[in-house]
Amino acid sequence: MDIDAYLKRLNYDGPRTRTLETLQALHQAHLLAVPFENLDIHLGRPIALEEEALYDKIVRQRRGGFCYERVMENGKFGPEFDHLTLLVPLEERWLADVGFGDSFREPLRLEESGEQIQYGVAYRLRNADELWTLDRRFSDQAWEPQYRFTLQPRQLTDFAGMCRYHQTSPASHFTQKRICSRATPEGRVTLSDMRLIITASGQRQETVLQDEEEYRHALEEHFGIDLTISKS
C-alpha cells in the first residue's frame, strides 16, 4: 500500500506520529473524503474483500466503500460478519469505524462507561459477556443500539460470505437501492437513488433528480465519482 497516495486521497498532510490526535485527524479526513457507497452492486461489478482490490478502488479510482459485527435492524441484531469495525490500541484502546455511514466522526474510547458526545450526538459503549454494543442518542431521544461486536481478531476472508450476501441477496438493503453518502464539515451529502439530500448546520434540503444524467452529474459534483471511467 502506498501510504502517501492514500493520504493524498484523504487530502491529509498532517502528522503521522502514532498518537490519538493523528488517529482522530485521519478518521475525520477519511469520512470527509471517502463516501459510503454501494454503486458497484447495481452495476453488476463484484466487490472483492482483498486489500489490493480495495486499495485500487478507493485510492486509485477515488471511489467509496460499504460496511463490512452485528448491525441492528428492525429491532434485531443481524448475523455475525455483517459489519467490520476496527480496534486501535494506543495508550488506551479506541473504536475506529469509517464504514458505517452517518456515525461518529472521531474514534470512541473503548473503556468509557459514560457518554461520548460528538457534534451534538451522544454515543456509548456497553460490554456484557464479551459482547460490546454501540448505542447512539440524538438530543433528548432514547438510546438506540447501532451494532454489536466482539474483540476477537478477524481476517478479511472471514467476512467473505456476508459480503457476497449483501451484493446478491434480494433481502439485502444494498441490492434494493443505490446509495452514496459522505460527511461534510457542515453535515452530510447523500444520494439515495434519485434523491439528493444535503444537510448543513441542521438544515435539510432534498431534491428529486429527474433522470440519469442529473444523477451522474450529482455523483461527480458532490463525490468526484465518474462511473464511466471506473475499472470493472
Active site residue 163: no
Q: In what order do the strands lie in the sheet with 179-183?
A: 36-37, 179-183, 187-192, 195-200, 203-208
- Closest by CA to 53, choosing from 40, 42, 70, is 40
User: From the candidates 27, 30, 40, 67, which is the catalytic residue?
Assistant: 67
Residues forming a β-bridge with 203: 200
What are the E-state strand segments in 79-130? 86-89, 93-96, 108-109, 116-118, 121-128
User: How far apart (Å, rounded) are the C-alpha atoms in residues 92 and 132?
Assistant: 16
Element (H, E) at 39: helix 39-43
| CB burial string 159-168: b at 16+ within 10 A, e below | beebbebbbe
User: From the candidates 97, 163, 180, 222, which is the catalytic residue?
Assistant: 97
Active site residue 217: no
Active site residue 97: yes
| 143 neighbors 124 (Cβ within 8 angstroms) | yes
User: How far apart (Å, rounded) are the C-alpha atoms in residues 103 and 89?
Assistant: 21
Residues forming a β-bridge with 191: 180, 196
User: From the candidates 27, 83, 166, 222, which is the catalytic residue?
Assistant: 83
Indicate which residues carry an active-site annotation.
67, 83, 97
